[in-house]
Amino acid sequence: MNLHYLIREPKKIKEQNPVLILIHGYGSNEEDLFSFASELPSEYYVISLRAPYDLQPYGHAWYAIHFDADANKFSDDEQAKQSRDLIASFIDEIVTKYPIDKNNINLIGFSQGAILSYATALSYPEKINKVIALSGYLNKNILVKDFASKNNQHQKFFISHGTVDQVIPVDWARKAAPFIQNLGLDVTYKEYPVGHGVAPQNFYDFRDWLNS
């Protein structure tokens, strides 16, 4: 299964260019995060992915979310693992197709896309440099079994969440930073007084973090 995507080329194409891969949330599409591609640093390729599962009447998902009779939510972790591996193989494809620096591949994920960004980066750290996880949480069940023994010490994470997020509770998001710090990795964690979305200040903060 090939993933559909949108691409913005860097202002100056060199022999090797860094890339930002944008991973949207449940029910959205590749145009959502791509809307701020023009504001992202101009030296990067910006590639926005479309999730593989179609939802009705529109939109896409990286994995299904089921509800039981008591309105509890359950994630389809097997589908999530398949999407994690799809993103990893997509990275292999774009490195052969475009002049991308394979040591400077970075993920920006929102909501379900942030959950997938954590999973892909920690499961395949040799492929991922930096992760920006917006309004998501870390689901340990969709990491590969031996993730903790992988060579991941180069990785850096920027995590942010809205304090009044009504979709993913901020308490869930807060667990990710200590988990990643326990692996010995560099983490920046920020909260904003917003709901399930990216505040302007949040955008400027992660852009500054990318540039630093």
5-211: CATH, from 3.50.50.60, 1.20.1530.20, 3.30.70.100, 3.40.50.1820: 3.40.50.1820
Residue pLDDT, tens place only, 50-74: 999 999 889 999 999 877 777 677 8
pLDDT at 72: 73
Output helix, strand, coil percentages for the chain, rounded to the nearest 5.
Answer: 35, 25, 40
pLDDT at 34: 95
pLDDT at 1: 57
Burial pattern 185-200, b for ≥16 Cβ within 10 A else e, equals bebebebbebebebee
For the segment 77-104, the average pLDDT, to the nearest whole number, is 97
Residue pLDDT, tens place only, 107-137: 999 999 999 999 999 999 999 999 999 999 9
SS3 125: coil
What lies within 8 Å, CB to CB, of 140 at 6+ separation is 179
Residue pLDDT, tens place only, 158-198: 999 999 999 999 999 999 999 999 999 999 999 999 999 99
Cα separation, 8 vs 17, whole angstroms = 12
pLDDT at 70: 72
Share of the chain above pLDDT 70, in %: 99
DSSP 3: P
Cα separation, 136 vs 138, whole angstroms = 7
Statement: residue 20 has pLDDT above 60: yes
Share of the chain above pLDDT 90, in %: 92
Domain residues of the chain, as ranges?
5-211
